[in-house]
């Protein structure tokens, strides 16, 4: 984990804007909006500001009003991408995101709307990871890419999908952890709910996403461990077919997540796999993640919010027997 809470992964961010730019060129209904949007686009994607200035809307410091505005645009036929900046601010948007737009998916007709937000470990009020909350809401997709290529492909898919999508950018993934193959210029179509095997293995299945996915990838490479590594890419929908097939081969599952383990993404996956792969499992499914506590303001305590490499290796070795 980066020691600097203001660190930003530029490669993933740039990939997201590449996808948005490509879609804006062919779809005039796409608009970008949020607090300080003109300023962010000026620094992050000046080509978009230059070519589509009339489709960038800077809104006031009011996350609830901003997301309601975006929902209204979606209901009118536009494809808004509303930036809520950090994930902590999503709590102020719950009515529009969880109570209004998802219901259109079932009661009227689905609408395309993207809610962008970022994770960063900084303090009690700017370091929370509420992604699991939104997986509970029917009508919402929740995407958390771990690398630039997936970020670009998933944003492209989200903009072509008639649904509300929460698109999270994990600010704590460092550029230097990006694999060269993840920068391939070839853009595959990535359906929502389609995971990917990052590493092949036969002794143990490991499942993760975002920051802890990158941690696991580097750890398995360094230790030369023959564990299968699955990147969820979206935490709703989840690619259970891929996980089940892997666990039926390996006989064991370790879930490592950047969010709290209580009632989290890993808890649901553990429950599903325990039911679906009961006969194949040699050991109970294990989960590792963050403690259910407030994010510390002290930078020296940030590393304790995620499972250590030592702990991951201990549990993995136990499961692989």
Of 89, 88, 104, nearest to 59 by C-alpha is: 89
pLDDT at 304: 82
pLDDT < 70 stretches in the chain: 1-8, 121-122, 179-187
pLDDT tens, 256-305? Answer: 999 999 999 999 999 999 999 999 999 999 999 999 988 888 877 877 88
pTM, two decimal places: 0.93
Residue 6 confidence (pLDDT): 43
Element (H, E) at 260: strand 253-260
CA distance to 25, 159, 160, 176, per residue, from 191 (Å): 22, 12, 10, 27
The H or E element that residue 41 is part of is helix 37-44
Q: Are 123 and 295 in contact (CB under 8 A)?
A: yes
Domains and CATH numbers, the chain: 10-183 (3.40.50.970), 196-319 (3.40.50.920)
234-258 pLDDT, tens digit per residue, is 999 999 999 999 999 999 999 999 9
How many other CB atoms sit within 10 Å of the CB of residue 291? 12
Please state the three-class secondary structure of 162-183 as a single string: CCEEEEEEECCCCHHHCCHHHH
Query: What was the pLDDT predicted at 174?
Result: 83
pLDDT at residue 8 in the model: 58
The confidence score (pLDDT) of residue 181 equals 60
Residue of 151, 300, 307, 293 whose CA lies nearest to 215: 307
Distance separating alpha carbons of residues 179 and 285, to the nearest angstrom: 28
């Amino acid at each position: 984990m980066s020691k600097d809470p203001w660190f930003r992964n530029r490669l993933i961010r740039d990939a997201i804007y590449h996808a948005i730019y490509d879609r804006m060129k062919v779809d005039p209904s796409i608009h970008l909006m949020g607090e300080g949007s003109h300023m962010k686009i000026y620094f992050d994607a000046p080509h978009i500001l230059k070519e589509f200035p009339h489709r960038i809307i800077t809104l006031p410091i009011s996350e609830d009003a901003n997301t309601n505005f975006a929902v209204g645009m979606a209901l009118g036929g536009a494809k808004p991408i509303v930036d809520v900046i950090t994930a902590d601010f999503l709590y102020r948007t719950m009515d529009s995101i969880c109570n209004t737009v998802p219901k259109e998916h079932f009661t009227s007709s689905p609408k395309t709307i993207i809610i962008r937000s970022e994770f960063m470990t900084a303090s009690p009020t700017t370091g929370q990871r509420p992604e699991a909350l939104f997986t509970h809401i029917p009508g919402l997709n929740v995407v958390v890419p771990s690398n630039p290529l997936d970020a670009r492909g998933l944003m492209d898919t989200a903009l072509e999908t008639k649904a509300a999508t929460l698109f999270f950018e994990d600010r704590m993934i460092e550029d230097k952890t990006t694999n060269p193959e993840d920068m391939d210029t070839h853009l595959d179509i990535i359906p929502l709910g389609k995971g990917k095997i990052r590493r092949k293995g036969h002794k143990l299945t490991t499942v993760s996403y975002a920051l802890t996915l990158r941690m696991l990838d580097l750890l398995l490479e360094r230790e030369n461990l023959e564990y299968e590594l699955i990147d969820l890419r979206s935490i709703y929908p989840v690619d259970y077919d891929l996980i089940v097939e892997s666990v039926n081969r390996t006989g064991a599952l370790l879930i490592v997540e950047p969010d709290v383990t209580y009632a989290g993404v890993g808890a649901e996956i553990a429950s599903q796999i325990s039911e679906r792969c009961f006969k194949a499992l040699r050991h109970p499914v294990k989960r590792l993640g963050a403690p259910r506590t407030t994010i510390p303001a002290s930078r020296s305590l940030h590393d304790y919010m995620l499972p250590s490499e030592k702990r991951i290796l201990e549990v993995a070795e136990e499961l692989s027997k």
